[in-house]
């Protein structure tokens, strides 16, 4: 039997979103990567945007860990493999430490990950200690590393925060209030690091600030002594069948379509698919392919350019007319409708492969874990979008949340028209590889495969 893999590890959490845990995680990864250490970063829960920053900071791919969406076995396998290769493992939590089912705290307890709490202390003093104590002891059995104060007003303020802790050894330092350490945001979350020319400089500034804290000054030996975790080996699974062997999948990838889980690409390759990439913003024709994947992203920010790309629109129409599969999720689906009204109220004529229109809203339209059940297969994932669609199409399927209850009454619609399958649903491909292979036309045309 394979022996456990040992590696220092931290789960960086917070009382709520917006406390600075992404900045601290990326800064810590960058600080150690600059010193030549091998750092592996994971993101707890579904998220496309934070991993852009962690990939840049660590220089390594970033995968998701979620006890429901990705599953315990997948989490165990990825952590065990990372511990075999890395000097340090970092896991960024999601929302607040105890938010969600399962929560970041559940993940920490399950795998023995020591929790580093990042708390925005800009408007508190003694309450900082109470909040840290509550986070540590709210549920029994939580591995604990300590607490880092973010956005402290001064050295005197930081001292007040430190004195408020019941356990002084849990103080890991403070970062000062500094606009240069704030990562820019938009309606779906952080701006992707790939969109900013100074992204690495921002991370270096954050890493430099963290280097002046007790956490940042720790050597690798100190990290191993304090927070080494033994990651148990995963069970041996049979190899994935090459259901897409000999098929080429064209994947849209650019600033408009950038919500791609690395694990989804790896899953398609493990199924035997050859992947080719194209840009709907700049390419006028599809690559030669058997199937197309239009992932989520920001079509609303690039609607004018997408609408003007008549060549790609016609190429997609020819692809669908030939009965070849097209899987479109969230932003990918939005671009397929006839019209898109953006956040400024401007309406653009989009590609028109699906009847109807989408309109960007001021508030979040849907958020949460979702599952798509087709026959006896369950494809897990999530939904997160600000737009709504108006279409005469009737859903072929609907997703559901964990436990089977409704979301906003009915769950996300999954539409099928010809060889197109489209939804706001973001899928986690490794949760149901055979169903994913069917969606991409394994062995036969998609419409026949799904009707079987």
Annotated catalytic residues are 330
Q: How far apart are CA 279 and CA 352, in angstroms?
A: 18
The CA distances from residue 296 to 326, 329, 383, in Å, are 13, 6, 11
DSSP string for 172-232: EEEEE--GGGPPPEETTEEPPGGG-TTHHHHHHHHHHHHTTSTTTT--HHHHHHHHEEEEP
Q: How far apart are CA 7 and CA 114, in angstroms?
A: 12
Q: What three-state secondary structure class fits 269?
A: helix
Hey, CA dihedral for 62, 66, 67, 69, is it positive or negative?
A: negative
Q: How far apart are CA 356 and CA 341, in angstroms?
A: 12
The stretches of 34-126 forming alpha helices (DSSP H) are: 50-58, 72-85, 104-111
Would you give the DSSP letter of residue 236? P
Q: Are the CB atoms for 216 and 238 separated by under 8 Å?
A: no
Would you give the DSSP letter of residue 281? T
Planar angle of CA 113, 117, 122, nearest 5 degrees:
170
| Residue 444 CA from chain centroid, whole number | 31
267, burial (CB in 10 Å: exposed 0-12, middle 13-18, buried 19+): buried
Of the CA atoms within 13 Å of residue 429, those in its CB half-sphere come to 23
Q: Are the CB atoms for 166 and 129 separated by under 8 Å?
A: yes
Q: Which residues contact 195 (CB under 8 A, 6 or more apart)?
A: 255
For 136, phi then psi, to 5°, come to -70, -40
Q: How far apart are CA 342 and CA 363, in angstroms?
A: 13
Tokens (6 digits) for 206: 């954050």
């Amino acid at each position: 039997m394979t022996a456990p893999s040992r590696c220092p590890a931290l789960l960086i959490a917070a009382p709520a979103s917006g406390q600075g845990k992404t900045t601290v995680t990326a800064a810590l990864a960058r600080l150690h990567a600059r010193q030549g250490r091998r750092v592996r970063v994971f993101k707890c829960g579904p998220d496309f945007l934070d991993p852009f920053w962690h990939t840049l900071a660590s220089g390594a791919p970033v995968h998701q860990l979620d006890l429901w969406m990705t599953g315990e076995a997948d989490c165990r396998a990825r952590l065990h493999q990372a511990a075999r290769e890395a000097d340090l493992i970092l896991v960024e939590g999601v929302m607040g430490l105890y938010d969600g089912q399962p929560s970041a705290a559940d993940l920490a307890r399950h795998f023995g990950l020591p929790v580093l709490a990042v708390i925005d202390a800009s408007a508190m003093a003694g309450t900082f200690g109470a909040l840290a104590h509550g986070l540590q002891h709210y549920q029994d059995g939580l591995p604990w590393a300590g607490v880092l104060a973010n956005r402290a007003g001064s050295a005197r303020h930081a001292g007040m925060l430190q004195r408020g802790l019941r356990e002084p050894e849990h103080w890991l330092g403070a970062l000062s209030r500094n606009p240069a350490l704030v990562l820019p945001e938009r309606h779906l979350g952080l701006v992707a690091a790939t969109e900013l020319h100074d992204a690495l400089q921002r991370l270096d500034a954050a890493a430099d600030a963290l280097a002046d804290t007790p956490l940042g000054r720790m050597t690798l030996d100190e990290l191993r002594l304090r927070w080494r975790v033994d990651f148990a080996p995963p069970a041996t699974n049979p190899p994935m069948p090459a259901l897409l062997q000999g098929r080429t999948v064209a994947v849209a990838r650019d600033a408009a379509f950038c919500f791609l889980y690395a694990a989804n690409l790896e899953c398609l390759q493990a199924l035997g698919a050859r992947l080719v990439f194209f840009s709907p913003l700049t390419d006028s024709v599809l690559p030669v392919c058997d199937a197309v994947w239009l992932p989520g992203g920001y079509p609303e920010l690039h609607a004018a350019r997408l609408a003007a790309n008549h060549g790609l629109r016609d190429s997609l129409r020819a692809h669908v007319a030939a009965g070849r599969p097209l899987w479109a999720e969230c932003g990918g689906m939005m671009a397929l409708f006839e019209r898109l009204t953006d956040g400024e109220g401007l309406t653009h004529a989009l590609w028109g492969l699906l009847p109807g229109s989408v309109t960007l809203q001021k508030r979040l339209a849907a958020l949460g874990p979702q599952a798509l059940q087709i026959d006896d297969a369950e494809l897990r994932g999530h939904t997160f979008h600000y737009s709504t669609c108006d279409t005469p199409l009737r859903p072929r399927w609907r997703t559901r949340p964990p436990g089977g209850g409704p979301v906003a009454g009915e769950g996300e619609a999954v539409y099928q028209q010809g060889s197109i399958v489209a939804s706001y649903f973001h899928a986690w491909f490794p949760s149901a590889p055979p169903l994913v292979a069917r969606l991409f036309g394994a062995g036969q045309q998609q419409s026949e495969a799904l009707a079987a």
